[in-house]
Amino acid sequence: MLMIFPPIAKPCEPPAGVALLSAALKENGFPCEVVDANIEGMLHLIRSDVRLTDPWSRRAIKKREEILSELKGSHLYSHMDRYHQRVYDLNHMLAISVDQKRFKISLSDYSDTHLSSVSSRDLLKSAVRYKENPFYGFFETGLRDRVQESASGFVGLSVCYLNQALVGFALAGWIKDNFRNKKIIMGGGLISSWMSRPDYTHPFDSLIDVCIKGEGEQPLLELLGQSRGTKKHYVPDYDFVKKDLYLAPGRVLPFRASIGCYWSKCRFCPEKAETRAYSSQRASRVLEDLRTIEQKYSPDYVHLIDNAITPAFLKALSHERFSFKWYGFVRFEKDFLYPGFCQNLKESGCDMLKLGLESGDQAVLDQMNKGTDLGMVSKILKNLHQAGILTFVYLLFGTSFEDKAAARKTLEFVKAHEASIDYLNLAVFNLPKFSEDAEDLKTWEFYHGDLSLYLNFVHPLQWDRKQVKQFIQKIFKKEVSATVRKNPAFFSSNHAIFFK
Our measurement of the distance from residue 200's CA atom to the centroid of its chain's CA atoms, rounded to an integer in Å, reads 24
Architecture in CATH of 2-48+97-223: 3-Layer(aba) Sandwich (3.40)
Euclidean distance between CA atoms 105 and 469, whole angstroms: 24
Fold of 252-496: pyruvate-formate lyase- activating enzyme (3.80.30)
User: Cα-flanking dihedrals φ and ψ of residue 452, to 5°?
Assistant: -60, 140
pLDDT at 229: 54
3-state secondary structure of 135: coil
Q: What is the pLDDT of residue 264?
A: 77
User: What is the distance between the alpha carbons of residues 278 and 456, in angstroms, rounded to a whole number?
Assistant: 28
Q: What confidence tens digit (pLDDT) does each residue in 377-419 have?
A: 999 999 999 999 999 999 999 999 999 999 999 999 999 999 9
Peptide bond into 67 cis (omega under 30): no
Closest CA to 454 of 161, 197, 159, 200: 197
List every span in the chain annotated with CATH 3.80.30.20: 252-496
pLDDT digits (tens, 9 = 90+) for 91-114: 999 999 999 999 999 999 999 999
Q: Are 200 and 194 in contact (CB under 8 A)?
A: yes
- Where does the pLDDT of residue 276 fall: very low under 50, low under 70, confident under 90, or very high at 90 and above? low
**Quick one: CA torsion of 444, 447, 449, 451, rounded to 10 degrees?**
-100
Q: What is the pLDDT of residues 171-204, one digit of tens each?
A: 999 999 999 999 999 999 999 999 999 999 999 9
Cα 227–Cα 5–Cα 103 angle in degrees, nearest 5: 145
Report DSSP letters for 52-113, one per residue. Answer: --SHHHHHHHHTHHHHHHHHTSSGGGG-HHHHHHHHHHHHHHHHTTS-TTTEEE-SS-EEET
pLDDT at 483: 78
Residues of the chain with CATH 3.40.50: 2-48+97-223
Contact 392, 353 (CB under 8 A): yes
- Spatial distance between the Cα atoms of 35 and 39, rounded to a whole number of angstroms: 9
Contacts of 415 (CB under 8 A, 6+ apart): 479, 480, 481
Check residue 278 and give its pLDDT: 61
Q: pTM score, two decimals?
A: 0.95
Q: Is the pLDDT of residue 227 over 70?
A: no
